[in-house]
Every structure is written in C-alpha cells, then in structure tokens.
Amino acid sequence: MPSSRARRTAARRSRSAAVTPHSVPPTAQAPNPRRGSEVKKRSGGPTSVRAPGCICTAPLGVAGGHQLRRLDDLGTMTAGHELLHLDDLHTSSFARIQSGRPFGESYGLPSHPSTGNSQRLMISIHALLTENALADEFVSAFHARRLPEKFFYWFPLSVRAWLALCSDGAYRNFVRSRSLIARSRAELARLFPVAPLEVVSLGAGQGDKDLLLLEALRERGARVSYVPVDTSQALLEMACAGALAAGFPAQGIKADFTLPTHLKALAAEPEAPPRLVLLIGNTLGAFDPIAEARELTRLLRPGDALLVDGEVYAGDATVAGYDNPLNRRFAWAPLNAVGIRDTDGELVFEAADDTRLPGLHLIPKHFRAARDVEALLGGEALRLARGERLAMNHSYKYAADTFLRILSEAGLAVRWQGRSDDERFLMVLASPQ
C-alpha cells in the first residue's frame, strides 16, 4: 500500500474513505500553452469525438470529508447518494459489493486463482478531489468558455464513450500504447531489481495497460503495489478492481496531478520503496508537456523511474486520425451530458505549431454554437450564444527528437526507449539525472 503523503493527507480529510468498485480513465485539466509563447494555426476542419463508460459500484456517502449533495442532475448519483450500477456497460464479471456490512469491516482477499478465495473485493479510493469540487469547476470552466481534459472522463456518458473508443481498433493511440507495453513489458521488468516497488499511474484510466506491466514485474519477482491516480471516479474504480482481482494491493487516489498541491501530496516518503511512475497513452500531451515534464521530475527521488510516451506527429494523417464515429462520440460526450446536442453546433479540430520548440505540434479543438444553446448542470443553466466558441481539450504531438529533448531539459535521463510497430508512438523509461 502507498506510504506516501497522499495516503495520509486523504485519510486526515476523510476518516471514512470513499470506497467503490470499477472505474474509468482519467485525466486532468488541460492547460493552455505557456504565456508568451506563440501557437501558429496550420489547418482546421470539423470533427468530433466521443468517450466510453463502464462500471460497477458501491455506496458512497462522503468524499474527502464533503457530503455529495448536488450531483443528482449529473446522472452519477441517486438521491440516496449511491453510485448508479452500470454493470451492463462493463465486460468483466466483478461482483457488486453489498452494503450489508460496515465499511470498516474486512472483506478479505479478492477472488483470485492464486488464493482460492471467492470473497468479494472492497475498493479503496482516497479523494483529494471531490465530486463537488469537480461540479463547481465544470460550471466555472463553462463560464470561462473552456472544458479541461478531466471533464472528458467525468460523466457516465463520457466514460461509456471512452471505453467504447478504447475497445475499437480505430483509436490508434490506445492500440499503439497498449501493444508497445505488451511487447516490451518483460524487457522493462528486467530493468528493475527483485524488490518492493510501488507503481504510481498518473491518469490511469481503467488501468488495463498498467496491469500488463504489473504482471510482468510480479513474474520478475518484484513485490508490487499499485496506486492509480485519476480525476475520474469511475475509471479509478475499474483500475483498482482490475488490480485487486489480479492479486495486487491497490489504493486509488482521486486527484488532479496538474495541481501543485495535489502533486505535492503524491510525493513519496523518503523511506518508501522505489517508485515506477507511469504517464502513458500520450497523457503528457493532454497538458503543457514542457511545464508538466519539469513538475513530474520533482516528484521523482533518486532510484525512481518514469515511464512516459508520446505520439509522433505525422502531418495530415495525425489530424485525420480524429475523424471517426467513435472518436466523435467521445468528443461530444461531455456536451451531450449537459444537454447540448450534435445539431446545436459543430466540433472543429485544428493543427498548430507551438513555436517554443521545433517539432512541437498542438491539436486543439472547440465547439462552435450554431444557435443559442442552454446547458444544465446541477440545476444551473449554462448558456452559449450563437457563434460563441467553447474551447475543449487538446493534444500535443511531437517529432521524436523533440519529445526526447523535452524530457532531457526537464532533468530526466533516458534508460530505455521503444517504438510502436508503425513508428508513430515513442515510449521512454527515464530517471532523474
């Protein structure tokens, strides 16, 4: 289990930690490029995206010490503050946790072939970021005419769309990242000693790629514990449930690692085991990669390692990769969830060069209202006038040498690197210099 400050911080805030089963991938707020930098637009075109969902769940009354009281209109909670059961969206057979026992009582080991234990598993998630805080931030962000990355994995509709996207071969980034880990996991595992290792996954999502690496490390002989970190409750539940079902100790942390206070809370204690920090699936590109790489370096101690990947830019082919039905459904999901329909406007994708570094490319997108639009969240009306734009999440792509340069200038030394079969994805294992 994690011995980091994050665990103790969350425990202080919530004596009864929020507990729940499966979850969906996460992400944090997508910052705009650094002030003073120029981004040159290159091309644009309408497109849209959609995200998957999934999940089984347990009662949840308090998160981070705050009552969940205004979420009924979000479709994520019932009036009795229980998460909705979304078993029909999930392909695995995890059993729901019944509410007949108090949460403080032990539920035993998870069911796993190696233990012969058939008891149901209990999921533990510590919350640095509450659902109320997310609801407030969504309203504020909408008024500011932008939707950060985290909200593309927050609504049940978004989770459903994300999972559908990941299950479809047309979403090449997921395929590239997962295939690269599957192919390289044994080689990566050999780079770590046979000793305790804490695997901290930032933006873990549903955790399926993480699990491939966890299993390889265990086969190597490492004693692995798993700490998925995400802003999405649903995806965190899935990541934890998958790890527990496979026999790994798991503690989810609901946090936005782009917030300095949250990142500081995730820092390990000096006496804690070495860490492998994961930031995979081009997650670094969802933020400002130059600034975020520097922040992540501060999270690492001597002996820790970071596994990070990025999409290699391929011109028009990169932009065209966003134009498929499942991706459009994912992009539309947070808008649809608050009552904005496809007929209310259009999604526009663009390509831009970030002039801070050669070979640094940005794919931003926005919604443009074709008529006056009114959305609704938690009983609060959110309006867009005809012609107004709502900036949405973005994704950075790189020339391969630019990606390596960003890591090097952040103070990271490359220990290993691998490429996807089509050379469009670069994965790097790095340590502090």
Calpha distance 275→282 (Å, rounded): 20
Lowest mean pLDDT among 40-54, 82-96, 114-128, 342-356: 82-96
Q: Using 50, 70 and 90 to split pLDDT, how confident is the model at 19? A: very low
Higher-confidence residue: 326 or 286? 286
Residues 6+ positions from 230 with CB-CB distance below 8 Å? 23, 25, 26, 27, 153, 203, 204, 205, 236, 239, 252, 254, 255
Whether 217 maps to a domain, the answer reads: yes
Query: How far apart are the C-alpha atoms of 45 and 365, rounded to whole Å?
Result: 10
In a domain, 13, yes or no: no
Bridge partners (DSSP) listed for residue 254 = 127, 230
Q: Is the pLDDT confidence value at 75 over 50?
A: no
Q: Is the pLDDT reported for residue 175 higher than 80?
A: yes
**What is the reported pLDDT for 34?**
38
Give the pLDDT of residue 378: 84
Confidence of residue 120 (pLDDT cuts 50, 70, 90): low
| Domain annotation covers residue 285 | yes
In a domain, 191, yes or no: yes
- Residues of the chain with pLDDT > 70, as a percent, come to 72
| Segment 288-317 mean pLDDT | 96
Query: What mean pLDDT is predicted for residues 369-386?
Result: 95
What pLDDT, on a 0 to 100 scale, did the predictor assign at position 202?
Answer: 98
Residue 380 has pLDDT above 80, yes or no: yes
243 or 104, which is more confident: 243
Mean pLDDT of 229-238: 98
Q: And the tokens for 39?
A: 């981004």
Res 324: pLDDT: 77
The rounded percent of the chain whose pLDDT value lies above 90 is 65
Q: How many residues comprise the chain?
A: 433
Predicted pLDDT of residue 171: 78
Q: Given the structure tokens 């969350």, which residue do they identify? A: 10
Q: What number is the average pLDDT over the span 96-100? A: 32
**DSSP element (H, E) containing 368:** strand 365-369
Per the structure, how many domains does the chain have?
1
Binned at pLDDT 50, 70 and 90, residue 320 comes out as confident
More confidently predicted of 25 and 292: 292
Q: What is the pLDDT of residue 102?
A: 31
**Confidence at residue 14, expressed as pLDDT on a 0 to 100 scale:** 41
The answer to the question of residue 409 being in a domain is yes
CA distance to 113, 246, 354, per residue, from 300 (Å): 35, 27, 27
Rounded CA gap, 283 and 266, in Å? 18
**Closest alpha carbon to 166 in 276, 90, 236:** 90
Helices in 149-222 by DSSP H: which ranges?
A: 156-166, 172-189, 208-220
| 340 within some domain | no
Residue 37 has pLDDT above 90, yes or no: no
Q: Do β-strands 252-254 and 223-230 pair in parallel, antiparallel, or remain unpaired?
A: parallel
What pLDDT shows up at residue 270?
Answer: 84
Host H or E run for residue 202: strand 196-202
Average pLDDT over residues 158-180: 89
In terms of Cβ atoms closer than 10 Å to its own Cβ (0-12, 13-18, 19+), residue 266 is buried
| Tens-digit pLDDT profile for residues 258-282 | 999 999 999 998 889 999 999 999 9
Residue 197: left (phi > 0), alpha (psi -120 to 50), or beta?
beta
Whether residue 362 lies inside any domain: the answer is: no
Strands 380-384 and 39-46: unpaired
- CATH number for position 254: 3.40.50.150
Q: Judge whether 24 and 234 are in contact, CB under 8 Å.
A: yes
Among 22-36, 95-109, 347-361, 411-425, the range scoring the smallest mean pLDDT is: 95-109
Q: What is the mean pLDDT of the chain?
A: 79
Of 366, 318, 304, the closest CA to residue 146 belongs to 366
What is the residue range of 30's domain? 23-54+148-315+398-432
One-character DSSP codes across 226-249:
EEEEES-HHHHHHHHHHHHHTT--
280 contact partners, CB below 8 Å, separation of at least 6: 177, 181, 201, 209, 210, 307, 308, 309, 427
User: Amino acid letter at 185?
Assistant: R
Rounded mean pLDDT, 395-414: 98
Judge whether 298 lies within some domain.
yes
